[in-house]
Structure 1
């Protein structure tokens, strides 16, 4: 991945850990602003994001500009030493835009118009929307580019719009012309000989709207690529405007974790700061692991420190049942983000709304106000971050394990006509990352075409579609001495979702010692297969090995005696999804053989240990106290006390140890 060339997160942090969140003062009378500033300063808040959903306030009618309120807010923040991440408000157009310009509204796959009254109601392909978005962005950048409170630009918010309408159809055809050049090339890539789908004119091509039966997988795959690219065009158009006015101010737009519609590897190359919104369920026993996965992925996309743009101080409002965070969990998960590379810990939002769709979504100041537990815990966290900032800000993590992930492989595999609807790629990815996390191994994420030589172990949970370049990269990695572990259904198809001869790329079959992959055997709900030493779930495969070098066989059933796990030299292939403990033990054993060890030995299961620079974070995700061996003498930056050889942590407690 290319190196960043624009401003970095350090240009905004200036040696601090940014702490704050979305601030929506247009929802409150002006006297509340001064109370907010008092509470912010008491909590050590040093950054707020302004303007995310303020378009109708700034432009109440077409072409009007109402900046007086924002002027006062920018000045108020600067006077109190609070930096501003200024957002372009383009994720939520004013009602007048959809009313006057219906072409700006997106259309669903079954032809329904998505109307104003919520948010994200814009067509990424609408020239009218783009013109209005550019105009408000231009005026914001011209007015506030020189304001001393400005520390960063935040473009739009959570890009996530699909559009199947006529404007998107025209843009899709232009995108396809650029990609393929000729209709013959497109027909070949999409396999349109199947079901008599051959196109004789570009005008006959539409987005994959709702059909009578299954859609063409190649068409769907390209539409997913197109959607990511169109949204990226919207982002870069606004980014280029603000960069022209403020070339030394970093720019970001917040990712949603593992969102299906956005190739975040490509997007990250266009951002100065990579940021993400992260909302693990506090009732989920794997919430900390899910958080670690997102943090590892975001850090890897950023190639260093990153920004936690949004999290919840308490409950959210969009789950079926929305539970608050128990005492201490907000602090613990925030410190986990810093441990895994975050230089900014922020929230949606500062003050909990009293009206609107998210009035039951928590804020740093809840409905309980200053005396409420939520704000008191926020104050404690602000003090903690201020203490540890000098020792961690700007520091990098070193990981010897990489997990490979690619949106295009995910898109290709997520087709309606696949062998098992139970195989959901994100769940497979989480299972493998969880196994590494539970083995106390810190991981990076990487694209399959990235340079893999820095890693002693590369893990591929599942990459259904691989380009020739990616396959060559995996083979070169093993030839150069790396250890590779691949999960089932990897290398099945090429970049056009064309199944490789033999059901797996022949080069991969040779790498793993597979003579023939006879059949895939997906498993039903509740069905398992027995392997030597463990049980397998979700999937199994009928494999004839090219040599006897396999480490576990299926026992009983149709696959009795056939290999479940194959090894050829430093290349491993796992044809099922082992049960969690078995997968953890398998990957831990392979990692040890590759020379990869945890940061600390003999860690209790509920404890996470991560080293960032010279600082060791020890996090207790359990509800019971635990004692952890930490050889040597350290200074706990949180408590200000010295620790020798061991540290005892209460429930949801943490230590941040400097040698």
Structure 2
């Protein structure tokens, strides 16, 4: 154990694939020349004889990369400026000898007890003033200068020690940044929030205008009077809440940037990432802003046990990450082999479901599949979280599935680097969703993410490859664009959407879209605000529905949550109307030709139930001319196609049903070894990956 503040790196052979003069980090883990396969490795939890066994088991399973030292700060630095590196040195050497690459973490995800004892002022604070104490993880306030200093110091120590280690493939900065404390309300946060507001608005007068502080006597005379939206007697100022969410996302990203700056100084040629959380429970960080800051985009994804169709949310999340990565291959940094431990009612998965979930990410563009974690813990809060090597050992379905997946990834390695090409997109915007989820709205039934997933599935169900974009993307490159519940939209984004329609895109915009500007101020003159002219409609008043209440359209479609009193302008075609009730005969679905090309702008003024939504999606597919990957898909079967730069292509078929299915395809199934000549048979619950003829 050393008490040096900056221990020297052990003598190692430098990785021949890296040079100190590399101008930019590579966009893939260094030396990973196969599909990535592995998991979060925590050798510090186990005695040395188990660690030796781990290496042999990893080789048996076909592991190619592991993440390492994510929660190791207290082990590396058990007392301030006293270090124990030996175990990590040995682990790095063993992994290198076994041909396994390392995604090495900064070890900052959980500060050691000595740090929070010495500096309790780094502990995070909730909106009601509750201090979150040590005993879990992420017990730090992201805005604390003291914590930032300690975290950057630890990052530098690790970077300098392992900069030339031949196992090092990439850097893993912190872990799931913002997972447990996405919004933090301490005095440090108040100071940082004020500085963010000053940079954003420039003057207090501009802030007062943006926040509408004339309401409820909230006018500020200086930035120093402003607090985070802590617990208040009643609803806090909505724009204050929205800006605090924006600030929080930016502040969390700035922490990543601080650590990345250290790594870039020490190892400019090693790529950096942090694991996003684009999944059912995600939302506090604007990952569309974060993604360009990553050398490699990576994501953690866990399905929700209570979801009767988790494959739908999985596909949506995977397509979201692929689009954030600009279509480039990305890393699934975490998912589970079976049950997790942190949901109220966890659910065990079959081997077929586990394989299908993993390979679905591959189908949607991932080139690396990692799990939490390698070996299932025997102690701690996650001991019942499944792993690649389970409590039951090698004589278990989980282990056999681990080995089977490793073999499949070897067999299909030729897909590495290929991409998914999509001509349709669903728009999902984080700031708009934050605003839509604030209090004091017409209904609590609004949920843009749920609606985006429903529309994404309706397209997926018909075999339509679909990106998930935000308002800053190039929208005109798509033939079909669906925009559900885009409550908040800037003038620039509204113009970009209109320009896509004028350029020939078929655009559908749903209810509760275009209602407010970026400050959450209502766009006056009638709804849907920013999109009235584009759509050729005007609504005077919303008619929201009570739980369990339904309206009917003139084609028999039933709808919930929302309806409104729409007026269609001249030249706008009424496709569907409300039938019966106070809105009898009022337009519910409209269509308007836009521009000189084939562009169209559709408006949907209610929330159809699933089959009615599917009928509208089918009409949009027909109007846009977007082609399916495979026509006439059996229900419950998902398909994607990945294409290489040289024109080779691979068809992924995921059978989510309990029945055997057949569909049109030709080529060699790399999973089963069977050949298809015009017709492919896929067993119940199975996956086929066909090298197409």
Please report the TM-score for the alignment, with normalisation by the length of structure 1. Answer: 0.97
Q: Which residue number corresponds to residue 640 of structure 1? A: 673
Q: Which residue number corresponds to residue 530 of structure 1? A: 552
Q: What is the DSSP-based 3-state SS (H/G/I as helix, E as strand, rest coil) of the residue aligned with 2:563?
A: strand
Q: Is 2:539 the partner of 1:504?
A: no
Q: What do residues 330-351 of structure 1 show as CA deviations (whole Å, max 9, x unaligned)?
A: 1111111111100000000001
**What's the offset of the Cα at 1:640?**
2.4
The 5 Å alignment of 1:343-492 reads 343-390=367-414, 392-492=415-515
Q: What do residues 498-521 of structure 1 show as CA deviations (whole Å, max 9, x unaligned)?
A: 10012436551121111x311111
Change (3 A) 1:396 1:7: farther
Distance 1:43 1:650 in 2: 25
8 Å contact from structure 1 (residues 435, 581) kept in 2: no
Q: What is the DSSP-based 3-state SS (H/G/I as helix, E as strand, rest coil) of the residue aligned with 1:453?
A: helix
Cα-Cα RMSD: 1.3
Distance 1:371 1:326 in 2: 16
Q: Is 2:279 the partner of 1:265?
A: no
Deviation beyond 4 Å, 4+ runs, structure 1: none
Distance 2:67 2:136 in 1: 20
8 Å contact from structure 1 (residues 428, 461) kept in 2: yes
Aligned counterpart in structure 1 of residue 155 of structure 2, from 137, 140, 155: 137
Change (3 A) 1:20 1:11: closer
Q: Which residue number corresponds to residue 599 of structure 1? A: 629
Q: What do residues 586-626 of structure 1 show as CA deviations (whole Å, max 9, x unaligned)?
A: 11221122111211111101111110011111111112222
Q: Is 2:313 the partner of 1:325?
A: no
Distance 2:473 2:51 in 1: 47
Q: What is the DSSP-based 3-state SS (H/G/I as helix, E as strand, rest coil) of the residue aligned with 2:664?
A: strand
8 Å contact from structure 2 (residues 305, 345) kept in 1: no
Aligned counterpart in structure 2 of residue 171 of structure 1, from 192, 204, 209: 192
**What's the offset of the Cα at 1:471?**
0.6
**What's the offset of the Cα at 1:282?**
5.4
8 Å contact from structure 1 (residues 313, 374) kept in 2: yes
Q: What do residues 464-498 of structure 1 show as CA deviations (whole Å, max 9, x unaligned)?
A: 01001101101111111111011111100000001
**What's the offset of the Cα at 1:585?**
2.0
Aligned counterpart in structure 1 of residue 323 of structure 2, from 296, 300, 307: 300
In structure 1, list runs of 5 or more residues that go unmatched: none
Q: What is the DSSP-based 3-state SS (H/G/I as helix, E as strand, rest coil) of the residue aligned with 1:10?
A: coil
**What's the offset of the Cα at 1:220?**
0.4
8 Å contact from structure 1 (residues 331, 377) kept in 2: yes
8 Å contact from structure 2 (residues 31, 101) kept in 1: no
Q: Which residue number corresponds to residue 270 of structure 2? A: 249
**What's the offset of the Cα at 1:15?**
3.4
8 Å contact from structure 2 (residues 512, 528) kept in 1: no
Q: Which residue number corresponds to residue 652 of structure 2? A: 617
Change (3 A) 1:494 1:36: same
Q: Is 2:236 the partner of 1:215?
A: yes
**What's the offset of the Cα at 1:281?**
3.1
| Greater mean alpha carbon deviation, residues 347-356 or residues 243-252 | 243-252
8 Å contact from structure 2 (residues 171, 271) kept in 1: yes
Distance 1:638 1:499 in 2: 54
In structure 2, list runs of 5 or more residues that go unmatched: 1-22, 594-599, 644-648
Q: Which residue number corresponds to residue 121 of structure 1? A: 139
Q: What is the DSSP-based 3-state SS (H/G/I as helix, E as strand, rest coil) of the residue aligned with 1:522?
A: coil
**What's the offset of the Cα at 1:449?**
2.6
| Greater mean alpha carbon deviation, residues 272-281 or residues 134-143 | 272-281
Q: What do residues 294-345 of structure 1 show as CA deviations (whole Å, max 9, x unaligned)?
A: 0000000011211100000010011111111113111111111111100000
Distance 1:528 1:247 in 2: 59
Q: What is the DSSP-based 3-state SS (H/G/I as helix, E as strand, rest coil) of the residue aligned with 2:75?
A: helix
Q: For this pair of structures, how many residues does the alignment match?
A: 651
Aligned counterpart in structure 2 of residue 571 of structure 1, from 601, 605, 627: 601
Q: Which residue number corresponds to residue 75 of structure 1? A: 93
Change (3 A) 1:506 1:539: closer
Aligned counterpart in structure 2 of residue 626 of structure 1, from 661, 669, 686: 661
Change (3 A) 1:507 1:54: closer
Distance 1:14 1:59 in 2: 30
Q: What is the DSSP-based 3-state SS (H/G/I as helix, E as strand, rest coil) of the residue aligned with 1:385?
A: helix
8 Å contact from structure 1 (residues 277, 309) kept in 2: yes
Q: Which residue number corresponds to residue 40 of structure 1? A: 58
Q: What is the DSSP-based 3-state SS (H/G/I as helix, E as strand, rest coil) of the residue aligned with 2:25?
A: coil
Aligned counterpart in structure 2 of residue 91 of structure 1, from 109, 116, 129: 109
